Amino acid sequence: MSKGKKFFEKLFASRIILAAALFPHGHAKFRLYLYPASLRRASVSLFSGRFPSVGPALLALTIKSIFCIWPIIMITEILQTTHGEGLVDITAAVRQQMQVLIPIPDADGVLFLYCPHTSCALTINEGFDPSAQRDLEKFWQHLAPRNLALITHKAEGSDDSPSHMKASLLQSSLHFLVEKGHLILGRWQSIYLAEFRDGPKERKIYLKFIPENHP
C-alpha cells in the first residue's frame, strides 16, 4: 500500500468535528463536514489508481470536503418578564441575541422566533405610535371577552380561556430575512410579545438563525 493511500485512509477513517472561534466575535463555533463513508472509500481508491479518469474531479470534491467550514446552527433564547395583559416590544432584545447567533457580521440568512406558550403569542405590527398598540389590545379584548357564556375553562381564573383564544389569533412563530447581518423590518414595524394573562409571567422565546447556503 502506498504512503499516499495510507495517509488518506487514516484521514477519512475518522469523523472530524472542528470547533473554533475564527471570527472577532469570539462566540462563533464551526463544524468541519466530511463526505460519507462511501465517498471516502471512493476517494481512497482514487490514490490506488482504480479511477484515473475521474481523478481530478473527485480530488476536488475530496479537498472541498476537508476544508469546507460551516457555522454550527445554534439556538438561543429571550427571557421576558411580563406584567399583565398587553404588548411587549422585543425588537431590541431580538437584535441583541442576533449578535450571539450570527458569527459573521455580514451574514445572510433567515432568523426564526418561536414562542412555546399557549397564553401569549408573537406578532409584527405598528411600532411608532403607542395608540396603535392600545387599539390592538382593545380589539383582542373585544373578540374574546371574559364574560362569554360559552366559556367553561376557568381553572386559572377568568383570563384563562380568553388568553388561549387570543393567542390562537396570532402566531407562535415568526421568521425574518437577515441581509448582511441586519434584521429586515419595515420602517414602522416592531416585533411584539403579546401577553394575555393578568399576573406577572416569565416568558421564553427561542431564536434560531439559518445562514444562507448552509448544507
**The predicted structure's pLDDT at residue 105:** 80
How far is 8 from 43, CA to CA, in rounded Å? 8
**The predicted structure's pLDDT at residue 73:** 72
Question: Which residues touch 91 (CB under 8 Å, ≥6 apart)?
Answer: 127, 185, 190, 191
| Helices assigned H by DSSP within 25-129 | 37-46, 55-67, 91-101
Task: List the pLDDT tens digit at each of the 215 positions of the chain.
Answer: 565 555 545 444 443 333 333 333 333 333 333 334 444 444 444 444 544 444 554 444 444 444 444 456 789 999 999 999 999 999 999 999 999 898 788 899 999 999 999 999 999 999 999 999 999 999 999 999 999 999 999 999 999 999 999 999 999 999 999 999 999 999 999 999 999 999 999 999 999 999 987 65
How far is 69 from 71, CA to CA, in rounded Å? 7
Any idea where the domains of the chain sit in the sequence?
3-71, 75-211
How far is 138 from 145, CA to CA, in rounded Å? 10
Residue 94 C-beta-side C-alpha neighbours within 13 Å: 29
**The predicted structure's pLDDT at residue 80:** 97
DSSP string, 151-183: ----TT-TTHHHHHHHHHHSBSEEEEEEETTEE
Beta strand 75-83 with 182-183: parallel, antiparallel or unpaired? unpaired
Residue 192 φ then ψ, to 5°? -125, 145
Structure-block grid coordinates of residue 61: 470534491
Residue 72 has what DSSP assignment?
P
Class of domain 75-211: mainly beta
Prediction pTM value: 0.68
Q: Smallest Cα–Cα separation from 40: which of 66, 18, 17?
A: 66
Q: Are 69 and 178 in contact (CB under 8 A)?
A: no
Q: Are 170 and 123 in contact (CB under 8 A)?
A: yes
Q: Smallest Cα–Cα separation from 109: which of 33, 6, 212?
A: 212
**The predicted structure's pLDDT at residue 2:** 60
Residue 215 has what DSSP assignment?
-
